[in-house]
Amino acid sequence: MAQYLWNRLAAGLLVVFGISVFTFALVHMIPGDPVRMMLGQKATQEQVEQVREQMGLNKPLVEQYATYVTGIVQGDFGTSLKTGQPVLKEITNRFPATVKIAVSAILIAIVVGIALGMVAAKYKDTIVDRAVLTLATLGVSIPGYWLGLLLMLLFAVKWKWFPIAGGTGFKDLVLPAVTLGVYASTIICRLTRSGMLEVLSQDYIRSARAKGIDETIILFRHAFRNVMIPVVTVVGLQMASLLGGAVLIEQVFSWPGIGTLAIDAIFSRDFPMIQGTTLFMGIVYVSVNIVIDLLYGFIDPRIDVSQQKAGA
Amino acid sequence: MKNRLVTSPLLIIVCLLVLLGGCSSVSAPANSATEAGKPESTAEPKKGGTITIGYMDEPDTLDMYKSANLAAAMVGSEIGARLFYYDPKTQDVKPYLAESYTISEDWKTWTFQLQSGVVFHDGTPLTAAIYKQTIERALDPETASPLGEYLFGAIQSIDAPDDKTLIFHLKKPSAQLLTNLWEPAVTQPVSLAAIEKMGADYGRNPVGVGPWKFDSWKTGESITLVRNEGYQWGNASVKNQGPPLADKLVYKFIKDSQTMIAALESGSIDIAANVSAKEMKKYKESNEVTVLERMKWGSSFLEMNTENEILQDIQVRRAVNMAINKDAIVKGVLLGEGEIAHSPLPSSLFGYDPASAEYDYKYNVEEARKLLDAAGWTVNAQGIREKDGKPLAVELLSWDAWTRTSQLIQGLLKEIGMDVKIINLDAATVVDVAGKGSFDMALMNYTDNDPNALSLFLHSSQIGSLNHSRVHNKELDALLEKGSATLDKDERKKIYAEIQRLVVDQAYWVPLYVEKEFFLVNNRVQGVTLEPMYGFGLQDSWVKD
pLDDT band at B251 (very low <50, low <70, confident <90, very high): very high
Q: Which chain B residue has its CA at the smallest distance from A81's CA? A: B60
Per-residue model confidence (pLDDT) at position B17: 35
Q: How far is A130 from chain B (nearest CA, A)?
A: 7
Angle at A270 between CA A267 and CA A275, to 5 degrees: 110
Give the residue from B458, B461, B425, B459 showing the smallest Cα distance to B442.
B425
Cross-chain CB nearest to A45 (options B11, B267, B464): B464
ipTM, two decimals: 0.84
Determine the residue of chain B that is closest to A43 in CA distance: B146
The helix (run of H) or strand (run of E) holding residue B145 is none
Is residue B32 within 8 angstroms of chain A, CB to CB? no
Give yes or no for B269 touching A (CB within 8 A): yes
Query: Which pLDDT band, with edges at 50, 70 and 90, does A47 fall under?
Result: confident
| Amino acid symbol at B362 | K
Tell me the mean pLDDT in the region A143-148. Answer: 90
Residues above pLDDT 90, as percent of chain B: 79
- Those residues with Cβ within 8 angstroms of residue B383's Cβ, 6 or more apart along the chain or in another chain: B414, B417
Spatial distance between the Cα atoms of B374 and B366, rounded to a whole number of angstroms: 12
Judged by DSSP in three states, A266 sits in: helix
Angle at alpha carbon of residue B324, lines to B323 and B330, rounded to 5°: 155
- Which of A226-235, A243-252, A255-264: highest mean pLDDT? A255-264
Dihedral angle, C-alpha B168, B173, B179, B182, nearest 10 °:
10
Of B25, B146, B465, the CB nearest to A40: B146
At residue B435 the predicted structure's pLDDT band, cuts being 50, 70 and 90, is: confident
A167:B150 CB<8 A = no
Q: With 90 as the cut, is the pLDDT of residue A299 above it? A: no
Question: How many Å apart are CA A166 and CA A160, to the nearest integer?
Answer: 13
Residue partners of A289: CB distance under 8 A and separation at least 6: A12, A236, A237, A240
- Judged against a pLDDT cut of 80, whether residue A242 lies above it is answered with yes
Per-residue model confidence (pLDDT) at position B35: 32
Residue of A nearest to B24 (CA): A153
Instruction: Kindly list the residues from chain B whose CB atom is less than 8 angstroms away from the CB atom of residue A130.
Output: 3-4, 7-8, 11
Which of A228-237, B176-185, B319-328 is most confident? B319-328
Q: Residue B12 and residue A256: Cβ atoms within 8 Å? A: no
Q: Where are the alpha helices (DSSP H) in B165-213?
A: 175-180, 192-198
- Per-residue pLDDT of B159-205, as tens digits, reads 999 999 999 999 999 999 999 999 989 899 998 888 999 988 999 99
Name the minimum distance, in Å, from the CA of B444 to any CA of chain A: 11
Q: Please tell me which of A97-101, A164-168, B31-35 the model is most confident about, judged by mean pLDDT.
A: A97-101
CB of B166 closer than 8 Å to CB of B131: yes
To probe the interface with A, which of B202, B259, B400, B447 has the most A CB atoms within 10 Å?
B259
Cβ of B429 and A33 within 8 Å?
yes
Collapsed DSSP state (helix, strand, coil) of residue B52: strand
DSSP letter string, B370-398: HHHHHTT-EE-TTS-EEETTEE-EEEEEE
The number of beta carbons lying within 10 Å of the beta carbon of residue B391 is 16
CA-wise closest residue to B79 among B225, B191, B252, B243: B225
Residue B222, SS3 per DSSP: strand
Residue A177 is classified by DSSP as H
Q: pLDDT value at position A215?
A: 84
Q: A158 CA to chain B: closest CA distance, Å?
A: 6
Best of A254, A258, A270 to mutate (most B CBs within 10 Å, chain B): A254
Residue B523 has pLDDT above 90, yes or no: yes
Of B333, B342, B337, B336, the C-alpha closest to B407 is B333
Residues found in chain A? 312
| B15 in contact with A, Cβ within 8 Å | yes
Residue B12, pLDDT score: 35
**Residue B452 reports pLDDT greater than 50:** yes
Neighbours of A309 (CB within 10 A): 7
| Predicted pLDDT at A245 | 61
DSSP A37-73: HHH-TTS-HHHHHHHHHHTTTTS-HHHHHHHHHHHHH
Range from A249-258, A290-299, B397-406, B493-502 carrying the lowest mean pLDDT = A290-299
The answer to whether B78 contacts chain A (CB < 8 Å) is no
List the end-to-end C-alpha distance of chain B, in Å, as a whole number: 58
Instruction: Using the predicted structure, report yes or no on whether residue B28 has a pLDDT greater than 90.
Output: no
Q: Do B147 and A252 touch (CB under 8 A)?
A: no
How many Å apart are CA B318 and CA B324, to the nearest integer? 10
For chain A, give the percent of residues with pLDDT over 70.
95
Cβ contact A147:A155 at 8 Å: no
Chain A positions in Cβ-Cβ contact with residue B149 (cut-off 8 Å): 44, 47
Lowest mean pLDDT, pick from B1-5, B118-122, B195-199: B1-5
Q: Who contacts B415 (Cβ-Cβ below 8 Å, separation ≥6)?
A: B323, B365
Q: For Cα atoms B49, B51, B53, give the angle at the middle one, nearest 5 degrees.
A: 165
A309 pLDDT above the threshold of 60:
no
**Confidence check: pLDDT of A26 > 60:** yes
- Per-residue confidence (pLDDT) for residue A84, from 0 to 100: 84
Burial of B332 (0-12, 13-18, 19+ CB in 10 A): middle
pLDDT (tens digit, 9 = 90+) per residue, B142-153? 888 888 888 899
Query: Position B274: which residue type?
Result: N
Per the CB < 8 A criterion, the answer to whether B409 and B434 are in contact is no
pLDDT tens for B469-500 read 999 999 999 999 999 999 999 999 999 999 99
Facing residue for B425 by CB, picked from A31, A90, A131: A31
Task: Report the distance separating Cα A172 and Cα B491, nearest Å.
Answer: 58
Task: Write the DSSP assignment of B317-345 as a string of letters.
Answer: HHHHHHH--HHHHHHHHSTT-EEE--SSS
Per-residue pLDDT band for B135 (boundaries 50, 70, 90) equals very high
Which residues, including other chains, have CB under 8 Å from residue A184's CB and lie 6 or more apart?
A: A105, A106, A109, A113, A234, A235, A238, A242
Contact B122, B158 (CB under 8 A): no
pLDDT at B25: 34
What distance in Å separates residue B448's CA from the closest CA in chain A?
A: 10
Q: Which of A180, A163, A247, A149 is nearest to B263 (CA)?
A: A163
**Taking CA atoms, what residue in A is nearest to B446?**
A41
CA–CA separation, A190 vs A119, rounded Å?
Answer: 11
Q: What is the per-residue pLDDT for B276?
A: 92
**A202: helix, strand or coil:** coil
CB B263 within 8 A of CB B256: no
Q: How far is it, in rounded angstroms, from Cα A176 to Cα A183? A: 12
Task: Please check whether residue A230 is in contact with residue A191, taking contact to mean a CB–CB distance below 8 angstroms.
Answer: yes
Identify which of B370, B429, B371, B366 has the alpha carbon closest to the alpha carbon of residue B398.
B429
